[in-house]
Structure 1
Amino acid sequence: MSSVGPLRPSPLVEQAAERLRAQIADDTWPVGTRLPGETTLAKDLGVGRSTVREALRALAGAGMVRPRQGAGVFVTATRPVEDFPARLRRAAVADLYEVRTLLEVQAARLAAGRRTDDDIAAMRAALDARRAAADGPGDAFIDADIALHATVVAAAHNPVLTDLFAEFAPALRQGLIDLLALVDVPRAERDHGDAAHADLVAAVVAGDAETAGRVARAELEAVQVKLGS
């Protein structure tokens, strides 16, 4: 193994991690290879063992290496593994809507059986806010629309669904805002969507899981059709 060369002073951990990433990427240490020990890496990099340890921890967090008890640190990938929020930011809006439909249809069904008085008040307030935003800027309308859907998801009282929607929301919002920059949504279409959202809230409030799921699916799939046109 050739020496990776000494590093310039601070920030040493970032420099060490970057140098090790480069060595892994160029196949100096292929996937499955055990990295040299901390003492050897510290000598090659010209840093202390604690710096090497922190750099390896950063690479482990990126999914590039994995320590094995008593065996050492092994290479598991040649590039950082993209985290879920980053992947969502790169996703097409149409792809987000396909997964969003799967999530929200079930959330609506669950919400119909679990909604509380507080949930009902929150959904009705969000529906009113969406209506009020129909005359405003496109980004404000998108925020109001997503906020309404968030109240329905919250009414399902499933923390995993709530967290998944929270992960989706920022990427979804940006994707829709980017679309608005190209194609404005006329007031007539916003008003038309009001009926579907009112029906969704009404079904959840009434405790009608079948109708809630059907309305949620129809509303979201209608948007998917527009995205594909």
Structure 2
Amino acid sequence: MFEDLRAAILAGGIPIGSRLPSEEKLARSYGVSRPIIREAMRSLQTLGLTRSRSGSGSFVISDSPPPDLAYGAVTARDLIEARPHVEIPAAGWAALRRSEAQLARLMALCDRMEQEVASLTWVGLDSDFHALIAEAAQNALFARIVVESREALQKQSELVNLMADRRMASNIEHRRIAEAIGSGSEAAAQEAMRAHLDRVAAAVTGITARNRKNG
């Protein structure tokens, strides 16, 4: 459904200025739930193809997506460049400083993500997972950066899961990070987080490349 709408916009089948059908109509047309439609509509906005107008619906604003993804004031490049400098050391410190209660919460988040079927709920849990690691690192600056980046991280997570189908892989990677933190090994926790961020960056780079090809 998302790819149908995206392809139609890029091909000019839904011209610039057109208003997309309502969530209710799209849900009926594609036989899917409204939360799935909502996710797709948000991702079209993140790709720079549509814009939502309060009370009026979503309108096509471009049939040539920008070469660089942006999540509000934060770009995909910003996140790719900054996250390793914050979240890799934070994972290492969390392995050394986390409390038993924090570890239990981290493992519980892994359980919930693996069982969750609703995409938007999963995205929220994903953001909780990364925020908890920064909290467990007991570094106020790391925690503040992650919290203040939360909205951009959620938009990126939602887009990557929709366009690169990474939820299952992310669940595995999150479990490895949590287990490494639980082991108390700074090096293992850092390596697990590095591997996760590398794979997310690769997925985002792939999406960006598709944007440039279609632009």
Give the one of 134, 155, 179 matched to 2:136. Answer: 155
* Contact kept? 2:160, 2:204, Cα under 8 Å: no
Q: Please tell me whether residue 197 in structure 1 is matched to residue 180 in structure 2.
A: no
Q: 1:115 maps to what in 2?
A: 98
* Contact kept? 2:109, 2:129, Cα under 8 Å: yes
Secondary structure (helix, strand or coil) at the match of 2:203 reads helix
Give the one of 122, 133, 136 matched to 2:118. Answer: 136
State how 1:30-179 maps to structure 2 within 5 Å. 89-133=72-116, 135-137=117-119, 139-177=120-158, 179=159
Aligned residues: percent identity? 24
Encode CA deviations 1:99-152: one digit per residue, 9 max, x unaligned. 11210000000001101111111111111121122x222x22211111111111
Q: 1:60 maps to what in 2?
A: none
* Contact kept? 1:89, 1:171, Cα under 8 Å: yes
TM-score by length of 2: 0.58
CA distance in 1, matches of 2:93, 2:160: 32
How many residues were matched structurally?
A: 137
Any stretches of 5+ residues in structure 2 without a counterpart? Answer: 1-69, 207-215
CA distance in 2, matches of 1:93, 1:129: 27
CA distance in 1, matches of 2:191, 2:160: 27
1:176, distance to aligned residue in structure 2 (A):
3.6
Pair 132,207 (structure 1): closer, same or farther in 2 beyond 3 Å:
same
* Contact kept? 2:135, 2:143, Cα under 8 Å: yes
Give the one of 211, 224, 228 matched to 2:188. Answer: 211
CA distance in 2, matches of 1:198, 1:161: 21
**Greater relative contact order (CA < 8 Å, ≥ 6 in sequence):** 2
Secondary structure (helix, strand or coil) at the match of 1:157 reads coil
Pair 169,120 (structure 1): closer, same or farther in 2 beyond 3 Å:
same
1:171, distance to aligned residue in structure 2 (A):
2.0
1:192, distance to aligned residue in structure 2 (A):
2.1
Q: 1:67 maps to what in 2?
A: none
TM-score by length of 1: 0.55
Letter in 2 for 1:204: I
Secondary structure (helix, strand or coil) at the match of 2:72 reads helix
1:226, distance to aligned residue in structure 2 (A):
1.0
